[in-house]
Amino acid sequence: MSATGYIQVNAYASYARLPLRDVAITITANDGTAIAMRLTNRSGQIVPVEIPVPEASDSQVPNPPERPFATVNLYAHLRGYEQVEAENLQVFANTVTQQDLMMIPLSELPDSWDQTAVYTTPPQNL
């Protein structure tokens, strides 16, 4: 893991992309170790998080010996909205991975308050 990739988020509500401020973002490695915690700004974005990744040359040929990207998990929480878990985000060398978080307002009934949307990215087919 000698190269660097980056993660950015865009947290918003509805197709009108109304930005969501103060969304708590946690990024973890696959073993659960926390890599970074951030709050979104008034544009619904964070200071990008650096992730160690394989060299770009690893993704230039089919069937490299090692997987040519790193994977991390991301959790997003904002009171009043459905929580989001995004699993296996792929991060490549010198590339920004953008995670859109279209967060859904929750009904006012307490049984919905810990509702979570889980998005899992399957492995690449290449």
Partner 1 sequence: MPPVLPYIPQRITVHLGPPNSDAENVTVSFVDYVKNVASSEIYPTWEESALRANILAIVSFALNRVYTEFYRSRGYDFDITSSTAYDQFFVKGRSYFENVARLAEELFNDYLRRPGFVEPLAAKFCNGTTVTCEGLSQWGSQNLARQGYNTTQILRSYYGNIEIVTDAPVMGITSSYPGTPLRRGTSGPSVVLIQTALNRISQSYPAIPKIPSIDGIFGAQTEATVRKFQEVFHLDADGIVGSATWYAIVRIYVAVTSLAELRSQGQQFYANSWASRNPISFGDRGVRVEHLQFMLSVLSAYIPEIPGVQVDGVFGPATRNAVLAVQQRYDLPQTGIVDHRTWDEIYDQFSGIETISWRNPEDFPYTNALISGMPPRARYARSTTMTQYPGVPLSSGSQDPVRQEVIR
Counting residues that bind partner 1 (by CB under 8 A) gives 50
As to burial, measured by CB atoms within 10 angstroms (0-12 exposed, 13-18 middle, 19+ buried), residue 90 is: middle
Angle, vertex CA 20, rays to CA 75 and CA 6, nearest 5: 50
Among 27, 38, 49, 68, binds partner 1 (CB under 8 A): 68
Task: Compute the half-sphere exposure of residue 38: CA atoms within 13 Å on the CB side of its CA.
Answer: 21
- Give the alpha-carbon dihedral of 102, 99, 43, 38, to 10 degrees: 110
Residue 16 CB, nearest approach to partner 1 (Å):
4
Cα distance between residue 115 and residue 65, in whole Å: 39
Cα distance between residue 98 and residue 120, in whole Å: 15
Convert residues 76-115 into a mask of x (bound to partner 1 by CB under 8 A) and - (unbound): ----xx--x-x--xx-xxxxxxxxx-x-xxxxxx--x---
Alpha carbon 92 to chain centroid, angstroms: 13
Among residue numbers 42 through 61, which ones bind partner 1 (CB under 8 A)? Answer: 42-43, 45, 56, 59-60
Convert residues 14-33 into a mask of x (bound to partner 1 by CB under 8 A) and - (unbound): xxxxxx--------------
Under the criterion CB under 8 A, does residue 2 sit at the interface with partner 1? no
Contact positions toward partner 1, by CB under 8 A?
7-8, 13-19, 41-43, 45, 56, 59-60, 62-63, 68-69, 80-81, 84, 86, 89-90, 92-100, 102, 104-109, 112, 117, 119, 121-122, 124-126
